[in-house]
Structure 1
């Protein structure tokens, strides 16, 4: 949402306040996206004004909305520590904040009072044909250094200041990585335990602030299990682990090729080949670089290759025109991330 805060309140610093025109433009941008794409379940990050967002969403037909935290307010009108939220066209039957296992945190070398940098929502949504589905909304710790130098108190030389900044960046960046990876690990453990208890399908969505494949968060897509038989391994990995929705779409396309009748198989294979050559659209740009930081992960109930799945991924879209071709009148108060939208189709 990129600092969704209703004026006359300020985000982070006293002068950061939207004008009435800017606020109207921001709300209109959100409403226009919702009217065009009509998502059924939405996860939000960087929400300050939760009640304002709820009103906006209700007007768009989203009668179910939940948060599990509120932002911090300092000096009466300056807000920091935004929260995540979820909205749904389908009933939200249960909502709770995910709590990390304190004993496990200590085993991992973390403090016993370890907490997520932003509280994580677990909302159980009554999805048609599927029943209760646990939807998790996250905003993992950013890559920004968690060590900040107090420039006002520094009386060192310019060289010493630069060296101190370098050390703070190296150590603080690693500290943020530890926090982010630990958040993902402790969340995954809680998701597995919840799945063990309820057997309900799982959806994990949000801003991960990290690529899934660089080693920090790749355990969210665990696909190996040591020291068990192949039969048990495959069954339990399928039941308790998550899949990237992008990968599931590729599997679904491949499955269509295998099931296609011979006259149409060639055309289908050509379509799949073209789809595989299309690179995944980044969701974030910084300077001259781009990356995928925003994901939707799904349990096996949405995997077309899983024998008991009810849904399959039939579409994957990253809305990014406000990033690559912005028009100020339309996108001036939008967001700094691309929006990931996954389409799920009931299997016949």
Structure 2
């Protein structure tokens, strides 16, 4: 059997008359309809069995839309932050599935971690689902801290006109704090994934917006090539996560499509990682990577009529084929 997993950063999924981030950032009714139509088109093209979402403000509306598209099972584990009744300032992640969830849980802090750590900006979600032939797996959805600098890194008076030097220092420190936050989130998640697998031995699918290239140092815990060598590779291998996109494009890595653009510069920020059992490199794989796809037409060749309310991220999906 084949199973398709997908991930999509929705870019401000907030139903009118609510707003996100700024008071004026409200969709008109025709814009909201266009956004929902665009999302439906991507899903109908990919036909995923399980799909992860980021930047979700309107949870009930997304759950209803997924139900209409054939996904009766929907999960979130946190509520978006809202101010003054209608201004949303912090989104959540979500997961929709054609198969029922056995368990839904927030990814909490490791209890045995001795170091103090900051809170997740957007708490990751774990859902356990049992798929025919493939068995029970743990699906994680993540949205790591963005690359935007953390504000107020320096004690600057907002009422005063700060010098260019002050603003430069603020930006430098804010960028570094953003990197630290993203690194903490990655390593906390990785530790939780390993601890969970030690208990259950479930295969793992990790999907989401990493907001940085996987090769960067702050994401080292999730990069199989960044781990130090060990004398016991067979003990470590079941806990390592493999970048499905890198596997798919390994012969021509230069052809891997970007999933986000900042101006003309493209970056791969959205990933689907698989545990050892879901890769044909394993001695006894449960599944193998059958197909990998990046829907990016709205980024590289957009049509205003179709893509006016599209996401600023590509849709990433993969299909696993179970091994008999």
In the superposition, the TM-score normalised over structure 2's length comes to 0.92
Q: C-alpha separation between the residues in 2 aligned to 1:328 and 1:170?
A: 37
Label 1:195 to 1:146 Cα distance change in 2 as closer, same or farther (>3 A). same
Partner of 1:29: 38
Unaligned stretches of 5+ in structure 2? 1-9
Tell me, yes or no, if the aligned pair for 1:22 and 1:333 is still in contact at 8 Å.
yes
Partner of 1:53: 62
Q: C-alpha separation between the residues in 1 aligned to 2:198 and 2:112?
A: 19
Partner of 1:282: 258
Residue 63 of structure 1 is aligned with which of 46, 61, 72? 72
How much does 1:103 deviate? 4.7
Unaligned stretches of 5+ in structure 1? 252-274
1:284-328 deviation digits (Å, cap 9, x = unpaired): 100231110010000011111212111111211111111111111
Partner of 1:129: 133
Q: C-alpha separation between the residues in 2 aligned to 1:222 and 1:277?
A: 16
Task: Count how many residue pairs are aligned between Structure 1 and Structure 2.
Answer: 312
Tell me, yes or no, if the aligned pair for 2:134 and 2:322 is still in contact at 8 Å.
no
Tell me, yes or no, if the aligned pair for 2:246 and 2:253 is still in contact at 8 Å.
no
How much does 1:102 deviate? 5.3
Q: Secondary structure at the match of 2:149?
A: coil
1:40-64 deviation digits (Å, cap 9, x = unpaired): 1111000000000000000111011
1:95-148 deviation digits (Å, cap 9, x = unpaired): 0000112552x43xx34xx32110100000112212211000000001111124
Q: Secondary structure at the match of 2:12?
A: coil
Larger Rg: 1
Q: C-alpha separation between the residues in 2 aligned to 1:44 and 1:345?
A: 23
How much does 1:35 deviate? 1.1
Q: C-alpha separation between the residues in 2 aligned to 1:225 and 1:170?
A: 30
Given the alignment of the two structures, is residue 14 of structure 1 paired with residue 23 of structure 2, yes or no? yes
Partner of 1:318: 294
In the superposition, the TM-score normalised over structure 1's length comes to 0.85
Spell out the pairing of 1:70-81 with structure 2 (5 A cutoff): 70-81=79-90
Q: C-alpha separation between the residues in 2 aligned to 1:225 and 1:237?
A: 11
Q: C-alpha separation between the residues in 2 aligned to 1:39 and 1:66?
A: 16
Q: C-alpha separation between the residues in 1 aligned to 2:217 and 2:158?
A: 37
Higher relative contact order (CA 8 A, sep 6+): 2
Q: Secondary structure at the match of 2:252?
A: helix
Please identify runs of 4+ aligned residues in structure 1 that moved more than 6 A.
none
Label 1:277 to 1:144 Cα distance change in 2 as closer, same or farther (>3 A). closer
Over the residues paired in the alignment, what is the CA RMSD in angstroms?
1.7
1:145-201 deviation digits (Å, cap 9, x = unpaired): 112487851244xxx1x1111111110110010110111111111100100000101
Tell me, yes or no, if the aligned pair for 1:45 and 1:83 is still in contact at 8 Å.
yes
Partner of 2:102: 93
How much does 1:33 deviate? 1.1
Partner of 2:13: 4
Q: C-alpha separation between the residues in 2 aligned to 1:280 and 1:214?
A: 17
Partner of 2:146: 142
